[in-house]
Amino acid sequence: MQRRAAAIYLVFFLVIGAGAYGLLQTAEEPTITMDGDAYTAGDTVTLNDRQYTVASADSGSGELSWVNESAVISNTIDNGSEVPVTDVRWEDQSARQEQTFEAGSTVEYNGSEYQVSVNESAGSFTLTNADDASMNETYATGDTVTYQGNEATVTSVDADAASIVWGGPYQLLVRTENVTDPTEAVFVEQRDIQAMVEADPALYDETIMQDGVEKVTYRANDTNVPVEEYFPAVERHTIAEGETLRYQGNETNVDAVTNESVELTRPGEVTNTVSFAEGENFTVGDQQYFAHFQDNSSVLLEETGERYDEYRAEEKEIESYNDRVIGLWGIAELSLLAAILLLATAYLPVRG
């Protein structure tokens, strides 16, 4: 009787489990089937009266971008801060040294002749030894180049030439003497006197102090000369509110001078971005939108107030389906486990 009852229950659980598993195999998962205009990377779309470019759209997330061509770009330089010589330029600038390598030319570079080639698209140039082509060096904009004993920076590369700059830096000092509302600031050249002395073969490598005055010493006759007399005067360049300054390669306005800083402004282009993700709301201006990916690379961008309820209704159908699938898997697994337990207990030895 024990085994007969077990067999009946075994069949019962197997039938239930098989039924649940059969439903799992035949059930079709619902999907969100919203229609509308789909966009891929590179397409343009108008949202809230502004045209955007789909900068990216991939696997459930992406980004929109638009270029503000009439933006005002601001830079603040704090009082007392150092400014690289590569950042500023004016007429008769003495602390800034520059060398241009013209494309196709042969130049003297660190004691040897090198041929110059430029790659404008990569923003780089290459120096190839005229006698040994295997000896070549490539530099890109922003790289540091050792040139004639100086640490220079590559500042620009175009189709015709590459430029490197060395010197400086400057210290920016706001002129606050005898004024409560300053309107001027001055760039003061900063020098490494020790390095300058060591680089000059006419001088001993160390300066000395005599009567509180720092001096250099000639190797030829041991004559001492004050540092300020031996080297050219430190460069100072004054800027004032309302003037213009060549800053980081752009013509820039000196907008305001305060005790703490100098504010520089210039017109320019600024790229603004908006991120989006599957089913999430994002705001453009005062309007809300949401994104739905039809596949990994195409996306619908719809107004939240108009179609989000439709999206959520279909999303809830998917959630309900997933809940039912989990339940059916639970029934199938529990039925199988119950059948195994029944089968095992049916063959336990009977006492007596």
Contacts of 317 (CB under 8 A, 6+ apart): 30
Give the pLDDT band (50/70/90) at residue 1: very low
Burial of 289 (0-12, 13-18, 19+ CB in 10 A): buried
pLDDT higher than 80, residue 9: no
Give the pLDDT band (50/70/90) at residue 139: very high
Average pLDDT of the segment spanning 313-328: 67
Average pLDDT of the segment spanning 292-318: 85
The pLDDT assigned to 257 comes to 96
pLDDT higher than 60, residue 241: yes
Q: pLDDT by residue (tens digit) across 196-238?
A: 899 899 999 999 999 999 999 999 999 999 999 999 999 999 9
Distance of CA 87 to the CA centre of its chain: 20
**Quick one: which of 3, 63, 38, 75 has its CA closest to 256?**
75
* Alpha helices (runs of H) in 99-164, residue ranges in sequence order: none
**Quick one: which of 86, 30, 14, 127 has its CA closest to 246?**
86
Q: pLDDT by residue (tens digit) across 322-350?
A: 666 566 566 666 666 766 776 666 666 66
176 or 138, greater pLDDT: 138
**Quick one: which of 224, 230, 254 has its CA closest to 242?**
254
* Alpha helices (runs of H) in 64-179, residue ranges in sequence order: none
Annotate 167-212 with DSSP letters as a single string: ---EEEEE--TT-SS--EEEEEE---HHHHHHH-TTB-SS-EEETT
Average pLDDT of the segment spanning 168-189: 92
- Can you tell me the distance from the alpha carbon of 179 to that of 168, in angstroms, rounded to the nearest whole number? 28
pLDDT higher than 50, residue 170: yes
The pLDDT assigned to 203 comes to 95
Mean pLDDT score across all residues of the chain: 87
The pLDDT assigned to 178 comes to 79
Neighbours of 131 (CB within 10 A): 9
- Can you tell me the distance from the alpha carbon of 235 to that of 214, in angstroms, rounded to the nearest whole number? 19
pLDDT higher than 60, residue 118: yes
User: What 3-state class would DSSP assign to 78?
Assistant: strand
- Can you tell me the distance from the alpha carbon of 101 to that of 124, in angstroms, rounded to the nearest whole number? 12
Give the C-alpha distances (Å, rounded to integers) separating 7 from 10, 15, 18, 100, 216: 5, 12, 16, 94, 109
- Can you tell me the distance from the alpha carbon of 206 to that of 195, in angstroms, rounded to the nearest whole number? 10
Q: pLDDT by residue (tens digit) across 30-75?
A: 567 788 899 999 999 999 999 999 999 998 899 999 999 999 999 9
